[in-house]
Amino acid sequence: MSSTHELSKMRSDELTPDLFEKLDRDDVRVDTVSRASLTAWQDIRMRLTSNKLAMFGFFLIIVMVLLAIFMPFIWPFDHYTNNLTNTNKPPDAKHWFGTDDLGRDMFERVWMGARISLFVGVAAALIDLVIGIIYGGIMGYYGGKIDEVMNRFAEILYSIPYLLVVILLLVVMEPSLTTIIIAMSITGWVNMAWIVRGQVMQLKNQEYALASKALGAGEMRIIFRHLIPNAMGPILVTLTLTIPNAIFTEAFLSFLGLGVQSPVASWGTMINDGVGGLFYYPWRLFFPAIFLSIVIFAFNVFGDGLRDAFDPKLRK
């Protein structure tokens, strides 16, 4: 039974002599603390920076953001001028990622798409954050009847399938970047609100909150100055992991033709365009597809690293 062996090796609690080391009495300094004393944030930063995969994700995010901001300024082509004598060209020295069916430079379009994807991701996550903190903070702090009613409302919103609501809203509204973000935020904030609620409920009876109350601090001050900052860990993690979801949702909606309208193109739109000509012009699919995957990957591994760093159970 190799698995028994594995198990016993994994959880071996036996004390064998080789685990012990003989120390001279003079070498032991009981009066000094050998490990540097760290504040909570220092500890979290240390654990995060020592996580190679998470730092790699962070690096990728920074690079993508910088490229998305600056590349469109540097690159000699723009994303909207058609050049019908130069359509569907494979990548070469002039057009690094080739051109699309209207002769537009794909390299430029990929970075303009990056702007949209990153903007949608961050904007949707921030709106979720604001609504979630206010709603969840109030739910968690007041509790009782207020919590019950507000929670029921959130539950009902949550029970309606997210993407179906977003699709319905976009069918009705004029498709644009703003409408996509609004549609995504209408039900997207519920998750964040629940995270905040749970944290606030747990924190509100701790001594420092009670002390602040005893000193006569107002409720809003207690919620926003004491409880929310202390609940920042799980909030940050949820925020980071919301971004790739929002980016994916935007790509999905653009794929359905409900995204931003031409000549602006997000990665989802470009992928959708690319699928049609896949067998003849594969580069039109692959470049936006690769960058979409990289960004989703980067935010996911960074978010995971952040969660591990904030988890006291994983502390060594």
* Residues in touch with another protein (CB under 8 A): 1-8, 10-11, 53, 155-156, 159-165, 167-169, 171-172, 248, 251-252, 255-258, 268, 271-272, 274-275, 278-279, 282, 285-286, 289, 292-294, 296-297, 300-301
In the bound state with another protein, the residue whose beta carbon lies nearer, of 223 and 247, is 247
Cα gap 57→43, rounded to integer Å:
20
Q: How far is the CB of 143 from another protein (least distance, A)?
A: 21
For residue 126, what are the contacts with CB-CB under 8 A and spacing of at least 6? 239
How far from 112 is each of 62, 83, 106, 186, 194, CA to CA, in Å?
A: 16, 18, 10, 26, 34
Q: Considering beta carbons, is residue 18 or 174 the nearer one to another protein?
A: 174
Q: How far is the CB of 49 from another protein (least distance, A)?
A: 19
Taking the complex as a whole, the smallest distance from the CB of residue 258 to another protein amounts, in Å, to 7
What distance in Å separates the CA atoms of residue 100 and residue 70, rounded to the nearest whole number? 22
Angstrom CA distances, 209 to 139, 218, 299, stand at 16, 11, 33
Per DSSP, 223 falls in state I
CA 241 – CA 191 distance, rounded (Å): 11
Q: How far apart are CB 8 and another protein at their closest, in Å?
A: 7
For 84, 152, 227, 292, the CA distances from 42, given in Å and listed in that order, are 57, 39, 20, 32
Between the CA atoms of 189, 191, 196 and 202, what dihedral angle is there, to the nearest 10 degrees? 160
For another protein, the closer of residues 158 and 224 by Cβ is: 158
Please answer whether residues 181 and 122 qualify as being in contact, where contact means their C-beta atoms are separated by less than 8 angstroms.
no
Distance (Å, whole) CA 235 – CA 254: 28
Residue closer to another protein (CB basis): 61 or 228? 61
Q: Which is nearer to another protein, 30 or 172 (CB)?
A: 172
**By the 8 A CB rule, do 122 and 109 touch?**
no
Minimum gap (Å) between residue 164 Cβ and another protein: 5
- Minimum gap (Å) between residue 294 Cβ and another protein: 8
Question: Which of residues 204 and 238 has its CB atom nearest to another protein in the complex?
Answer: 238
